[in-house]
Amino acid sequence: MNRPLYRIRQYLATRKSKLSYLEIDFVRKYLNHQEQILFFRMKGFDQRHGITVANKCLEKTLEVNWINKTQMARVALLHDIGKSSADIGVNYRVLYVLLGAIAKGKLLKSLAKKNSRIALKRKLFVLDNHGLLGAKMLMDVGCTDNEVLQVVAKHHDTPEVGESKLLPFLREIDATL
Ligand SMILES: [Fe+2]
Ligand SMILES: [Fe+2]
């Protein structure tokens, strides 16, 4: 199946899923109180996505002794919290994915505007910049772990020399879900 359509199907598949007590405990284990508020402010399908990414990242790094597992789980749970800066439902997600597939995302970039009076443009801006927005939200609640902030901010950026070692794992797993 082509990738944008696959992504849309994924969103729809997880639309109604509720977290189990075990999953909620998993979130509580790794996030402090303020971070939990940011996590649970996300849409249900974004919460489920964060937990799935975290579990898969932990699985993938199980034998990798140079990866801090607590940090790995934390960045995976928190990486998409920036999406909760606006109320963005499934239809906007679908549109965002489709626009991103047109003209190498140029149309999307031209439409996404931070302070537009048009809700669609503001929502596209949030989706397109959710990494940086998420890092800012974490700083606002007192997160001082620079590695966590960097990974959340850059999880959709092109890999660069000297970046956090957590980023390749997060990007790889995130791209499969
Ligand atoms: Fe993301
Ligand atoms: Fe993600």
Confirm if 38 and 149 have CB atoms less than 8 A apart.
no
pLDDT reading at 1 higher than 60: no
Which ligand approaches the C-alpha of residue 48 most closely?
Answer: 2
d(CA 57, ligand 2 centre) in Å: 12
**To which residue do tokens 């801090």 refer?**
68
Question: Phi/psi class of residue 4: alpha, beta or left (left: φ > 0; alpha: ψ in -120 to 50)?
Answer: alpha
pLDDT reading at 165 higher than 80: yes
CB atoms within 10 A of CB 30: 21
Confirm if 127 and 43 have CB atoms less than 8 A apart.
no
pLDDT in tens, 36-94: 999 999 999 899 999 999 999 999 999 999 999 999 999 999 999 999 999 998 889 98
Residue 2 banded pLDDT, cuts 50, 70, 90: low
d(CA 129, ligand 1 centre) in Å: 9
Which ligand approaches the C-alpha of residue 50 most closely?
Answer: 2
Number of domains in the chain: 1
Domain span at 39 = 3-176
pLDDT reading at 17 higher than 90: no
